[in-house]
């Protein structure tokens, strides 16, 4: 074993000991939470003065094994740092969520998705085993063969069963570049049909497809973005400067082509937080010229959004303009692909938000994941929409209407943002029976929050 690998493992052991000391220091009966200053969750939470778990020593990559195509990664390692460690080996995680500051542990316990999900599933499906600090204060290794109940229930538990300390994940080979084809559609059913065919065959017009997502701007304007791994050099685009990626895919007819480095492709959405940087003026040409490039990233916009929410700046501006306050609709949902056009038609007719992101997925694992029970061997489409709408007569009215429509179409909604489900519906949709059994075993004294309390009651 090389000296750097030994040093990394020694540093990991120190980080684990620091974590365990902080866990032992939390008073009996007090809630257990992470001591972290940033989050990719989009819901408010009750503040607490109790010291949290110290994860400051658990933010890196322990080792990459190019031969086995695996990596041992600490739970609080961001995908930005993980990708930086794997790309020099010509490897990448099987699924790389779109934002640089998402952590591996967060993507596994809170779900994640990206344009490889139509062939690689979700991030937790590439986990071979993981060390979890449970609510009982124990450090256990979970895998399909050891503590398998925790391994299966961990995805979508959002830290209510424990926290990932170390994860061993699969990696896959990548090429230096990604060649892109953006297909224009004037009909959403035609777009969905083309997506379905690509998912089923892994090909389009006889050529392989390695990456697949899409964007809908309206009922008569949608795009599928097809990516192919390639070693062939050629002109490259850069969307970290004045140019904006989502605008580059728009055209009138047929196909448009582009090329990015694999690094820039993985982070193509991060520089503008998809299209949400417009809310902060960062897409205005004059503002963009003076906006420092190092702050042109999702972390910066998330910081600004937290400040906006803390001081309610958006609604204050609305009041000054004589307009009512607005409801945040920041959601990702999954519906079966055969119901996707139906959902999009309903959404465009009832929720004034565009663009909309599309990302197909199929689970790799036939055994399923009880807390987010998508059916194995069935194609779903993640539909992402992130904006605000005028408030309704009741709190969360637009979000609740979306929840009902998604459930009616046999879909699910991610829980990283506001949710309004009543307890019985939440229990049915998110594996309540399986969750409670694992909760009793690994957090018998309820030191960690309950999933409903965290996801819906915002505790």
pLDDT-based confidence at residue 5 (cuts at 50, 70, 90): low
pLDDT at 40 over 80: no
Nearest to 451 by CA among 425, 426, 424, 420: 426
DSSP string for 213-224: EEEEEETTEEEE
Higher pLDDT among residues 45 and 32, named by residue: 32
How sure is the predictor about 444, in pLDDT bands with cuts at 50, 70 and 90? very high
Over residues 214-234, mean pLDDT: 97
Asked if 302 contacts 374 with a C-beta cutoff of 8 angstroms, the reply is: no
Mean pLDDT for 384-404 is 95
**Whole-number pLDDT of residue 391:** 92
Q: Is the pLDDT of residue 42 over 70?
A: no
Whether the pLDDT of residue 195 is over 60: the answer is: yes
pLDDT at 33: 80
Mean pLDDT, the chain, whole residue set? 93
Rounded to two decimals, the pTM is: 0.93
Is residue 37 over pLDDT 70? no
Residue 105 CB neighbours (<10 A): 25
Encode pLDDT of 342-380 as tens digits. 999 999 999 999 999 999 999 999 998 999 999 999 999
Closest CA to 191 of 277, 244, 249: 249
Q: What pLDDT score was predicted for residue 47?
A: 58
pLDDT (average), residues 287-311: 86
What mean pLDDT comes out for the span 323-331?
89
Q: What residues pair up with 229 in beta bridges, in sequence order?
A: 178
Is the distance from CB of 256 to CB of 182 less than 8 angstroms? yes
Say what percent of the chain tops pLDDT 70.
95
**Whether the predicted pLDDT of 116 surpasses 60:** yes
In angstroms, the CA 19 to CA 56 distance is 8
Enumerate residues 6+ apart whose C-beta is below 8 A from 294.
Answer: none
What's the pLDDT score for residue 41?
A: 56
Contacts (Cβ under 8 Å, ≥6 apart) of 318? 324, 325, 326
pLDDT at 323: 74
Tokens 């009996």, residue located: 28
> CA 159, 161, 166, 170 torsion: positive or negative?
negative
Looking at the chain, the whole-number percentage of residues with pLDDT higher than 90 is 82
């Amino acid at each position: 074993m090389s000296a750097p690998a030994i040093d990394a493992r020694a540093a990991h052991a120190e980080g684990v000991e620091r974590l365990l000391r902080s866990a032992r220091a939390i008073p009996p009966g007090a809630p257990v939470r992470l001591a972290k200053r940033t989050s990719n969750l989009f819901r408010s939470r009750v503040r607490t003065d109790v010291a949290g778990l110290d994860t400051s020593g658990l933010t890196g990559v322990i080792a990459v094994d190019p031969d086995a195509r695996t990596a041992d990664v600490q739970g609080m390692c961001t995908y930005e740092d993980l990708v930086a460690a794997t790309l020099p080996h010509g490897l990448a995680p099987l699924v790389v969520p779109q934002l640089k500051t998402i952590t591996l542990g967060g993507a596994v316990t809170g779900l994640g998705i990206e344009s490889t999900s139509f062939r690689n599933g979700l991030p937790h499906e590439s986990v071979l085993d993981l060390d979890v600090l449970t609510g009982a204060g124990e450090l256990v290794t979970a895998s399909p063969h050891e503590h398998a109940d925790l391994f299966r229930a961990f995805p979508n538990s959002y830290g209510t069963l424990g926290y990932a300390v170390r994860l061993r994940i699969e990696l896959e080979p990548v090429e230096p570049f990604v060649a892109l084809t953006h297909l224009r559609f004037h009909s959403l059913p035609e777009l969905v049909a083309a997506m379905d065919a690509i998912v089923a065959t892994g090909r389009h017009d006889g050529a392989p497809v390695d990456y697949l997502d899409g964007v809908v701007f309206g009922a008569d304007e949608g795009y599928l973005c097809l990516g192919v791994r390639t070693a062939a050099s050629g002109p490259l685009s850069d969307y970290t400067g004045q140019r904006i990626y989502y605008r580059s895919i728009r055209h009138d007819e047929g196909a448009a082509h582009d090329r990015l480095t694999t690094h820039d492709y993985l982070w193509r959405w991060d520089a503008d937080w998809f299209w949400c940087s417009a809310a902060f003026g960062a897409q205005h040409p004059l503002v963009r010229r003076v906006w420092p490039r190092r702050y042109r990233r999702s972390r910066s916009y998330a910081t600004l959004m937290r400040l906006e929410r803390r001081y309610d700046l958006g609604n204050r501006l609305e009041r000054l303009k004589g307009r009512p306050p607005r409801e945040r609709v920041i959601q990702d949902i999954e519906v079966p692909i055969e119901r996707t056009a139906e959902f999009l038609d309903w959404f465009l007719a009832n929720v004034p938000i565009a663009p909309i992101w599309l990302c197909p997925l199929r689970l790799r694992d036939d055994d399923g994941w009880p807390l987010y029970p998508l059916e194995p061997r069935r194609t779903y489409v993640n539909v992402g929409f992130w904006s605000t709408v005028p408030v309704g007569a009741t709190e969360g009215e637009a979000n609740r209407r979306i929840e009902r429509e998604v459930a009616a179409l046999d879909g699910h909604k991610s829980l990283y943002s506001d949710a309004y489900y009543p307890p019985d519906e939440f229990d049915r949709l998110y594996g309540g029976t399986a969750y409670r059994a694992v909760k009793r075993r690994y957090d018998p004294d309820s030191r960690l929050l309950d999933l409903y309390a965290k996801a819906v009651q915002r505790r």
